[in-house]
Amino acid sequence: MSEVFTSSGLLYLLLVFIRILSIFILSPIFTRNMPNIAKIGFSIAFAFIVVNVIPLSTPLEIRGLIDLAVECIKQILIGAVLSFIMFTFFSVALLAGQVIDFQTGFSFSHAVDRTFGGQVALTGKFLNTIMLLMFFLTDSHHIMFRILYETFANIPPGAAVFSPDIVGVFIDIFKNSIDIAIRISMPCLAAILVTEILLGVVMKAVPQINFFVIGFPLKIMIGFFMMLIFIPVFCNMCDYIFVDMYDSIRKMFEGMVSH
């Protein structure tokens, strides 16, 4: 513990605390579901653990307030990058729910989501809640803390370098998130498409049938039925989504290591 309270140790502790606090402030899991005092207290406790587990091997080269401000901004950016990746992968449920609601007729109804700070689709809110529950039920938060530990081991304060390679990683993250959202919504979209084809055949054979009277309730029922079937499948898909999220975080931080 003596190393923590030296001048370099206190500076190291401050930078570690800033990185952790930025994650807790910007993360979609803790954004508005955790009191600010709890975020600060947990960040301080976690910073003390990190400093004692990963001791400062070389002194930090901070020559003035400008260098200190630049290094603090770097720590905030590292935490923001990790939080942004988590935000992107947790948003796939919202995107998939938006697509499903548009096809089933629920696009006119939205729910207020305090985590994302706006109105979201009902199905998207439902899928996002399931995804959040699976995140904790599968102990994925433990893996997230381990990844955070790895970031301090591989990119200690003062060693972060933002290379152009991270732009390609960002593009891959967007591509993967959109692909996952499409795969999540595909079963419901396929069922609605088949339903609309059958309704078109029935209306062609019996023109007296009003599509707006029969079509909308039928699409809603088909949507509910497909969601009931799809929930266990989606729970299993959450594991693959989390694995992709961890791989993306590791690839992103590999581009920040100075070679």
| Interatomic CA distance for residues 90 and 162, integer angstroms | 24
User: pLDDT above 70 covers what percent of the chain?
Assistant: 79
The whole-number pLDDT of residue 141 equals 75
d(CA 43, CA 46): 5
Across the chain, what does the average pLDDT equal? 78
Query: Does position 258 have pLDDT exceeding 60, yes or no?
Result: no
The per-residue pLDDT for 57 is 62
Percent of the chain with pLDDT over 90: 0
For range 191-213, the mean pLDDT: 77
One-letter identity of residue 133: L
191 vs 58, more confident = 191
Q: For 78-114, what is each residue's pLDDT tens digit?
A: 888 888 888 888 888 888 888 888 777 766 666 666 5
pLDDT band at 5 (very low <50, low <70, confident <90, very high): very low
Tell how far CA 160 is from the center of its chain.
22
CA distance 125 to 93: 8
In the chain, the amino acid numbered 1 is M
- Per-residue model confidence (pLDDT) at position 113: 63
Given this model, what pLDDT does residue 190 score? 85
Judge whether residue 59 has pLDDT over 80: no
**What pLDDT, on the 0 to 100 scale, is given for residue 164?**
73
Residue 73, both tokens: 């901004």
With contact defined as beta carbons under 8 Å apart, do 18 and 66 qualify?
no
Residues written for the chain: 259
Burial degree of 96 (CB within 10 A; 0-12, 13-18, 19+): buried
Per-residue pLDDT reduced to its tens digit, 110-161? 666 655 556 677 787 888 888 888 888 887 778 877 888 877 777 777 666 7
Angle between helices 140-154 and 65-104 (to 10 degrees): 150
